[in-house]
């Protein structure tokens, strides 16, 4: 019997035996006699259609079987999984033991020993500063206020409405609220301050500040400062500040932006400027809603000097640095969250230092420098910085994320990410003399995850004190070179090397998940050895150690 005849025979037998599936009239149409198939008129078309479908199914099954046979699994290398140590905030004595008496930003800077990176050069006294409106424990105190700086509006114990405050002396601030009994509302205000700020940065010479367990709510207001160390807003000492539908601007002093980066307390800053728009410190909380935050230099939203915990959150806000500086800075124990915001920054959107984290959700970032810079000074080798980006768009002219001698978790989930320089992530040794050292100790390393994305750019690891691992998950396609890193690719993802690369393949993968054009060679440590030509003509060289 021919192959077609055999197929037809089996189909007919199936139809005859499938009493519950084939109509009785159809089954009665099939007669077997003398080994020949006799069909009533009209049934031939049904049978031919079934035969054609069977032939197509057989062909697809054969092709699938052939592909399965052609698939080649690359056995991955066994990679030691790093353990993240439980972090304990270092004491001042532990930090000073590393850097010596005084420490960066310490006594030599005229303030307390060991002021934090990105923060003020030292903490002085607020004795010489006087706010235009002083509220203590739920009471407006005229005797401690510069009422002559207020030219309009209404001031009460619980609120100030429509106030206009103007001052050209650096020691005169705007609104200062303190005390556990204070929950103050500042609405429809116009505050403009000039002159170099005096005393503690974020203290009484600030445009509007909360302190000492108080709550300050700002609505529909404009706060502008001109002068060194002159924040527009601040939250310090266990206080809470909430800002709605307002515009906050810090222009800095006349020398706000110079030609070269400056240092603060001995720590090199990769930007210039001398005033931050907002400062949140010392166990405080700041929330911003539909607000524009602008800085000429240094930074727009700064969190540092946490003393245990600091939280900052911005929702539907615009964050800008016009000439130099960062959008947000999270120092040790600080936690910054941005939801549906827009960043347009001169130097970088975010800086992380030590055990801190920043989260971006559905946020659009445009940076004329890096997207983020991560480092650690005056810290401990166990510290891990965490950057999480979900949805939104990120575009930058320089390296996407620059990691300098620091452990980091970088997570990108469904993000449109692009670097004009063509480098998504790069690690390097921090040249800062105060950089945290590992002293040869094994540390957590750098872990970069791309999830549900198509992304192009290189990943370069140059910090020999720690490892870097790249994870491609949930249908991610990465197009770019990967150098000196481990790589893990789940079954739905793919890596296309666009330039020579050297990696360690962690975990088994199908060879079809790696590709490279002709002329590109991937050197990979794996669980086996071999040389293969990839689908697009590139070469994969596996080496088993």
pLDDT single digits (tens) 282-305 = 999 999 999 999 999 999 999 999
Per-residue confidence (pLDDT) for residue 390, from 0 to 100: 98
How many other C-beta atoms can be found within 10 angstroms of the C-beta atom of residue 500?
A: 15
3-class SS of residue 390: strand
Taking Cα atoms as reference points, which of 174, 214, 179 lies closest to residue 194? 174
How many other C-beta atoms can be found within 10 angstroms of the C-beta atom of residue 373?
A: 24
Per-residue confidence (pLDDT) for residue 499, from 0 to 100: 98
Highest average pLDDT, of 252-256, 258-262, 438-442, 538-542, comes from 538-542
Residues β-bridged to residue 31 = 38
Quickly state the pLDDT bin for 95 (edges 50, 70, 90). Answer: low
Highest average pLDDT, of 61-70, 111-120, 439-448, comes from 439-448
465-470 mean pLDDT: 97
Tokens linked to 112: 């307390």
Instruction: Kindly provide the residue ranges of all beta strands, DSSP E only, lying in 474-537, ordered along the sequence.
Output: 477-479, 482-489, 494-496, 501-505, 509-510, 514-515, 521-526, 530-533
Tokens linked to 330: 């999270």
pTM for this model (two decimals) = 0.83
Q: What angle do CA 173, 344, 378 make, to 5 degrees?
A: 65
| Max Cα–Cα distance, the chain, nearest Å | 119
**Structure-token match 């890096």, residue found:** 370
Q: Is the pLDDT of residue 42 over 80?
A: no
- Judged on CB neighbours under 10 Å (0-12, 13-18, 19+), 463 is buried
pLDDT single digits (tens) 395-447 = 999 999 999 999 999 999 999 999 999 999 999 999 988 899 999 999 999 99
β-strands 139-140, 130-136: how paired? antiparallel
101-105 mean pLDDT: 36
117-145 mean pLDDT: 78
Per-residue confidence (pLDDT) for residue 41, from 0 to 100: 44
Q: Is the pLDDT of residue 263 over 50?
A: yes
57-65 mean pLDDT: 46
Taking Cα atoms as reference points, which of 281, 210, 291 lies closest to residue 249? 291
d(CA 81, CA 83): 6
Quickly state the pLDDT bin for 81 (edges 50, 70, 90). Answer: confident
How many other C-beta atoms can be found within 10 angstroms of the C-beta atom of residue 138?
A: 15
d(CA 530, CA 523): 10
Express as a percent the part of the chain with pLDDT over 90: 72
Tokens linked to 273: 């400027």
Per-residue confidence (pLDDT) for residue 65, from 0 to 100: 44
Per-residue confidence (pLDDT) for residue 64, from 0 to 100: 42
Task: For residue 338, report the phi and psi dihedrals to the nearest 5 degrees.
Answer: -130, 120
pLDDT single digits (tens) 207-252 = 999 999 999 999 999 999 999 999 999 999 999 999 999 999 999 9
Quickly state the pLDDT bin for 80 (edges 50, 70, 90). Answer: confident
Helices 3-17, 44-70: axis angle to 10 degrees equals: 110
Q: Is the pLDDT of residue 26 over 50?
A: no
Q: Among 57-66, 161-170, 321-330, which is the least confidently predicted range?
A: 57-66
Question: Across all residues in the chain, what is the average pLDDT?
Answer: 85
Per-residue confidence (pLDDT) for residue 266, from 0 to 100: 53
Per-residue confidence (pLDDT) for residue 262, from 0 to 100: 56
What Rg do the C-alpha atoms of the chain give, in angstroms? Answer: 32
């Amino acid at each position: 019997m021919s192959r077609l005849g055999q197929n037809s025979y089996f189909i007919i037998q199936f139809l005859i035996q499938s009493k519950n599936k084939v109509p009785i009239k159809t089954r009665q149409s099939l007669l077997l006699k003398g080994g020949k198939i006799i069909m009533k008129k009209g049934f031939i078309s049904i049978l031919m259609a079934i035969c054609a479908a069977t032939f197509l199914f057989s062909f697809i099954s054969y092709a699938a079987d052939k592909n399965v046979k052609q698939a080649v699994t690359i056995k991955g290398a066994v990679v030691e999984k790093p353990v993240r140590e439980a972090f304990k905030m270092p004491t001042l004595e532990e930090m000073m033991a590393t850097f010596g008496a005084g420490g960066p930003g310490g006594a030599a800077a005229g303030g307390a020993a060991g002021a934090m990176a990105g923060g003020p050069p030292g903490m002085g006294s607020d004795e010489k500063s006087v706010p235009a409106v002083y509220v203590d424990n739920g009471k407006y105190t005229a005797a401690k206020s510069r009422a002559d700086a207020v030219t309009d509006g209404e001031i009460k114990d619980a609120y100030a409405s429509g106030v206009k405050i103007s001052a050209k002396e650096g020691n005169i601030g705007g609104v200062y609220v303190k005390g556990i009994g204070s929950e103050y509302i500042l609405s429809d205000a116009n505050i403009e301050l000039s002159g170099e700020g005096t005393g503690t940065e974020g203290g009484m010479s600030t445009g509007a500040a909360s302190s000492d367990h108080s709550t300050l709510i700002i609505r529909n207001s404009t706060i502008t400062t001109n002068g060194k160390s002159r924040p527009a807003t601040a939250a310090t000492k266990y206080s809470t500040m909430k800002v709605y539908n307002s515009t906050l601007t810090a222009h800095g002093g006349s020398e706000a932006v110079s030609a070269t980066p400056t240092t603060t307390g001995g720590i090199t800053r990769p930007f210039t400027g001398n005033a931050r728009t907002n400062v949140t410190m010392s166990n405080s909380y700041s929330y911003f809603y539909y607000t524009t935050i602008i800085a000429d230099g240094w930074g727009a939203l700064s969190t540092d000097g946490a003393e245990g915990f600091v939280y900052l959150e911005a929702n539907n806000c615009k964050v800008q640095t016009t000439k130099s500086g960062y959008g947000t800075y999270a120092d040790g124990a600080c936690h910054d969250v941005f939801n549906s915001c827009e960043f347009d920054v001169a130097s970088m959107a975010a800086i992380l230092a030590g055990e801190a984290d920043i989260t971006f959700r559905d946020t659009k970032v445009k940076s004329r420098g890096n997207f983020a810079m991560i480092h650690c000074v005056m810290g401990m080798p166990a510290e891990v910085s965490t950057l999480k980006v979900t949805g939104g768009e990120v575009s930058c002219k320089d390296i996407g994320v620059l990691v300098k001698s620091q452990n980091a978790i970088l997570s990108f989930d469904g993000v449109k990410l692009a670097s004009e320089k063509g480098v998504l992530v790069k690690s390097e040794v921090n040249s800062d003399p105060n950089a945290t050292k590992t002293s040869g100790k094994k540390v957590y390393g750098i872990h970069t995850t791309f999830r549900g994305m198509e992304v192009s750019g290189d990943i370069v690891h140059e910090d020999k004190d720690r490892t870097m691992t790249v994870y491609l998950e949930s249908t991610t396609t990465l197009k770019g070179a990967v150098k000196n890193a481990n790589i893990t690719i789940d079954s739905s993802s793919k890596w296309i090397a666009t330039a020579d690369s050297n990696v360690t393949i962690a975990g088994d993968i199908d060879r079809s998940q790696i590709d490279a054009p002709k002329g590109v060679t991937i050197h990979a440590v794996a669980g086996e050895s071999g040389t293969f030509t990839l689908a697009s003509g590139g070469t994969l060289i596996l080496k088993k150690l």
